[in-house]
A and B are shown apart, each in its own frame.
Chain A
Amino acid sequence: MKLSLSWIKDYVSLPDDADLKKLAYDLTMDTVEVEDVEYLGKRFEKMVVGVIEAVNPHPNADKLRVCTVDIGDGESKEIVCGGINLAAGMKVAVSVPGAIVRWHGEGEPVEIKKSKLRGVESYGMICASEEIGLGDLFPSKQEAEILDLSFLDVPAGTNIADALDLNDVLLEIDNKSMTNRPDLWGHYGIAREIAALYNLPMKKIEPVKIDAPSDFKVEIKDIDRCPRYIGVEMDGVSVKPSPFKMQSRIWRVGMRPINALVDITNYVMLATGNPTHAFDADNIEDHITVRRAEKAEKLLLLNGKELELCEDDLVIADGEGAVALAGVMGGAKDSILPKTTRVILEVANFESTGIRRTALRYDNRTEASSRYEKAVDPERCDQALALSVEFFKELYPELKITGYCDRYEKKLERAEIDVSLTWLAKRLGKNLTNDVIQAKLEKLGFDVKIDGDNMHVTAPTWRSTGDISIKDDVMEEVARMYGYDNFEATSFTTSFEGAINQKEISLVRNIKEYLAIRCGMQEIYTYPWMNDTFVNAVMQDTAGMLKLSTPPAPELSYLRSSLLPNMCEAVVKNERYFNEFSMFEEAQVFTDTDYTSPYDSTESLPKQRRNIAASVASATKDANTLFREVKGYLEYMPRYTHMEGFTFRKDVKPVWADNVVWQNIYVGDVKVGDLGLVAKKVTMDCGIKNLTVMVFEMDTTLLKPLISRTNRFTHLAEYPETDYDISMLFDSSATWEEINSIIAKKEAGPVKNASFVDEYRGKQIPAGKKSVTIRLTIGSKEKTLTSDEIENAANSVMKQLSKRMGAELRTQ
């Protein structure tokens, strides 16, 4: 919200030499955030009023003129200009070299320099209103129209800001910082706050008494939604421009002057924060009624939008139907037209949340609705009315008030709070005297009665619509008026009860660091919702998934039950730039199952696990290489991260996996996840072009961190152990798991361990067979084995493998 300092000064006696930097700082620290302080006059530096002395044709251009202009420095200047309304004697705005303008009101600001235009020297520029940022204040009626300032009674050379009385200061307030302070929406409210901060006298807007006996009436059918409605019927108005000062102020704070009737209502809103509205009285049938809309009732708004209303909407209606959307926007039927001579002025109070619902429902937020939805207090209608009537009378001396009705049906009650002074001192961490506390609160309009330890506080009306309701609110008022900067930082004490030891939290961090740093994967984050394309491609089925009722886009409605659809989407995105990469993500996954109430018995939450998923994608490596790489990451993970080890089994094929290349990951007897090659059909459906993609996904909540580093030391072998490689031919379908388990059964003997070296299928190997190279570690605790003993041990392993699996020694 923009505020004009000169306007604020209408209501508070701020000294002319007030330090504005300090004012902005104090408001920011204690009340609302001042984002910017702008000296309005600076926009018009090097722009002066010039008087055209002569207009001559340009020797080289038909559309240009060469003007002789007096800019008040004693020497007439030649200025080239293409304006269509140039005339001798006309007063114009001249930008002299150094001024910043926008060509034709568009594009980047440029600095005016002395220059030649088509061969003729030109000293600056004669400006159109939009070129010097005055387009809204002086709208031009046609193309290339120069701003005519002949109405000004100032000599040539007067600075434009001085000439138009624009030496104001504009404060830009962050709207977010005042959502809880409806009293501040308007110059009057800010003035009241400044008066309190600096202990300055306030120039109050006193309520006005109107006496207009007639049968004019207003009816309120829903007093909760409309606590107060004042209608004033007036005769003798007309559509004409408002005074320049009013237009100028409206324009300064960012609105557009329209005509006197509309400008008065906007001006009053900007001054008091209470929106007002003027209806053309000749178009109101019978009397005004404030009521809920009927179902499917139609209303054509001022902006041309045709609405079909619902029963939650509040409307202003006449005998025929709805004429305005209450607190949001007027209707087309009763809007001010050039022929308007009689108006009904509305000064009303509407309940905040209903206004907000309606404005959002029709995507029609306005200056009025954005104020009402902050919860304006109904007492403020008094100031809005007084100010409105003052302007109507001033602008229309012939005006007659022909009807008046103030229905104040639901009185505002001032908030009353008891505060213990002991409690206050404790919370502030500072002892302030009763006098100081009382003075600070009274300045803000509170009534304060202190009786022993109890302070009874009554909030002013403008703070009683929810803003001030408990003693902590009062504490905040005292603290901010005292100044937050005046409280020293105090340290807090520790009570030590034991070291922080959160194994589950540390485990997940260890896994992430392991995957990132040890395995070279990049961590990614994706959204909790999935794209239907990837849901269908990867998950095949949406059963058991949760859905958003208002998703970011129609195809993004399913919440992820697995991290893999988004992982595959990430693979597609990165395939454009990389042909080999690996990624992982750790995040929450959801299913529409297993509802529990861990915190509150009336609440029921769906099962939510935390998964970690990884993908390794390559355009060059084959499935076998990738599988072993990824499985290696998993096999080594428990050692790095201190958790119970994994076993791998083939129990249930994941839907997305290739028919052959997959395993389930187990911790003990609990399945914690899957590992496998993404099936060709799935990668195709995802739009992955050339990559082979290996993935795994695990439920981290099922992983078991070790209590400590629990493995035991084993003595180093006293006698040498020998590695002995054997290569044997097995059926192609034989598994390492089986081979290893057969060798392991002979454990008591000298064969300590068997490890997989490699396997080979190919030219030298008969069809249906594969060669597996196994490394046996052979040794004894009692002695150094002879080469015969070693060979015997290896031979006995080979015999076992032949007997149990039909393996043959591979002959060279």
Chain B
Amino acid sequence: MKDKIESILSEAKARIAAAADENELQKVRSEVIGKQGSLTLLLKELPKVDAAERPEMGKLLNLAKNEVTELIDSTRTELKLKASEVSPDFDCSVPGVMPMNGGLHPITQMCYDLNDAFRSMGFEVYQEDDITSEMYAFDKLNFPQNHPARESMDTYWLAGHDSGSTNEKLCLRPHLTGGSVRYMQTHKPPYRFVYPGRVYRNETTDAHHERAFFQYEALIVDKDITFTSGKVLIKSILSKVFGTDVPVRMRSGFFPFVEPGFEIDMQCQVCGGKGCSVCKHVGWIEVMPGGSPHPNVLRAAGLDPDEYTGFYVNIGLDRLVMMRYGVDDVRLFHSADLRFLKQFR
């Protein structure tokens, strides 16, 4: 009997050790210590055993039973720790299910980035209407009466409002600066504000020209500002947009509403200023016009140009976004084409 017990026990141990799952353990349990299990059956045979050996056999049987029970329990715990609810073939490399994927327009993203940068410098965000009068689009900005931009070839005039004196003629704003005059008229200096918005030009469109595009104007007007303060402003903007310190240079430029006027260049971010095809081998890229508001503009806003001066920049958002992402056709921004817009998150 002793041999039988030992052989059952060792076989049971081997089977438990080899068991891969709960089912196999249950099978061992019922075949060894279940009602018809091999050990149980042996236990039933105990009365037939020689009385002298009986206590020892009984003890051996109980020990064996306990050992199997414990072994099954501990193996079960072990198996549970190792187990998974699903098949081991579960493929974790499959992609996740996306939440609904919307996004802001890349121009809006750029605009909000800039708003955040300027707000941190104490600038207000200003917003104005798209339709304006010739008086605010041109007169107040020091455009001569016969400036070419006033003609219908460049500006979208409204039917029924396209003749008469300049306060009667209405157009889609050709630039934002007229709105800045409105701000200055209705606020007290010093001024510190940004003014994002869309402007409209009657042009033939191609990959680099659009009829509707976005500008971002920043204006600071105070008593003790020289045009060199503009450099600080520009560097702050560009470092926000490109994430690094970007060298800038200001060079002579002409716009009716500033004096002096500048073209502001940034170091080409593609070649680091060494010269490449993107910057036409000059190492610099023109990013925005700027300058001190023309005395006539300040006067139009009700300020004394001998007392106040300032600095202004006007950033073409479309151009900056094109540089940021390498977009090569400006018309895509107004295409409402989701295949394009979904690329910007």
Contacts and interface: CB of A to CB of B under 8 A. Distances in A.
A573 B337 contact: yes
Contacts of A491: 229, 232
Contacts of B306: 423
A519 B100 contact: yes
A342 B135 CA distance: 52
Contacts of A719: none
Interface string B131-146: 1110110000000101
A362 interface: no
Interface in B23-70: none
Given A30-B252, A528-B130, A605 B338 contact: no
A181 to B, nearest CB: 8
A143 interface: no
Nearest to A608: B129
Interface in A547-575: 547-552, 557, 559, 566, 569-570, 573-574
Interface stretch (A145-153, A284-292, A494-502): A494-502
B100 A28 contact: no
Contacts of A509: 112, 115
Main secondary structure of the interface of B (DSSP, over half): mixed
Interface residues of B, number: 90
A373 B147 CA distance: 10
Contact of B160 (A180, A373, A526, A547): A547
Interface stretch (B5-13, B82-90, B120-128): B120-128
Nearest to B158: A546
B99 A590 contact: no
A121 B108 CA distance: 63
Interface stretch (B73-81, B218-226, B266-274): B218-226
Nearest to A609: B129
Interface residues of A, number: 93
Nearest to B121: A494
B21 interface: no
Contact of A472 (B200, B259, B341): B259
A513 B129 contact: no
B102 A179 contact: no
B249 interface: yes
A605 B170 contact: yes
Interface string A186-197: 000000000000
B222 A574 contact: no
Interface string A10-48: 000000000000000000111111011000000000000
A652 interface: no
Given A546-B158, A547-B159, A526 B167 contact: no
A495 B190 contact: yes
Given A521-B102, A583-B336, A500 B158 contact: no
Contacts of B229: 489-492
Contacts of A522: 102-103, 338, 341-342
Contact of B159 (A177, A475, A526, A548): A548
Contacts of A466: 144
Interface stretch (A108-116, A244-252, A477-485): A477-485
B177 interface: no
19 contacts: A29-B252, A30-B252, A33-B263, A177-B253, A475-B259, A484-B251, A484-B252, A487-B226, A489-B228, A491-B229, A492-B225, A513-B104, A521-B100, A528-B130, A550-B157, A574-B337, A582-B102, A599-B182, A599-B186
Interface of B: 99-105, 107-108, 112, 115, 119, 121-125, 127, 129-133, 135-136, 144, 146, 148, 151-153, 156-160, 162, 167-168, 170, 172, 182, 185-186, 190, 198, 200, 202, 211-212, 220, 222, 224-229, 231-233, 235, 249-254, 259-263, 280, 282, 286, 292, 294-295, 306, 309, 333-339, 341-342
Q: Which A-B residue pairs are the 5 nearest by beta carbons?
A: A520-B100, A429-B226, A489-B231, A476-B260, A353-B146
